[in-house]
Homo-oligomer: A and B are copies of this chain.
């Protein structure tokens, strides 16, 4: 899964391979900072100057719906994307300036197990549990 090329991923999702899709998915895979659609648009336009913003948005939506990429929740009104589809969590640092991936399968398991016992959740089919760790870098002198 992790090592699939852009084209393999697109094919696996049953999507036609186009230069635009290749560029969008590659740009997202190359950027670990959970970019917005506009971030990606600007990056791609440098090498592919007449790609349309609407196309980038459209491709991102398709990739999300086919579960090739993920969306990230943010407290402002921009959608961020994530090339990593393996279950993982996020570290929201310095007032959401930075969102860092955080992998810890043991923790996910621990929580899942704990939640199974909760009667408030008895009638819920739990699909996923995501943890948001909100914090600040200790060395940052600000505030």
Contact = CB atoms under 8 A, between A and B. Distances in A.
Interface of A: 71-79, 91, 93, 102, 104, 107, 110-111, 114-115, 118, 120-121, 123-139
B138 A134 contact: no
A93 B124 CA distance: 8
- This chain: how many copies in the complex? 2
A60 to B, nearest CB: 12
Contacts of A130: 131-132, 134
Contacts of A128: 133-135
B75 A73 contact: yes
A90 B107 CA distance: 18
A136 B125 contact: yes
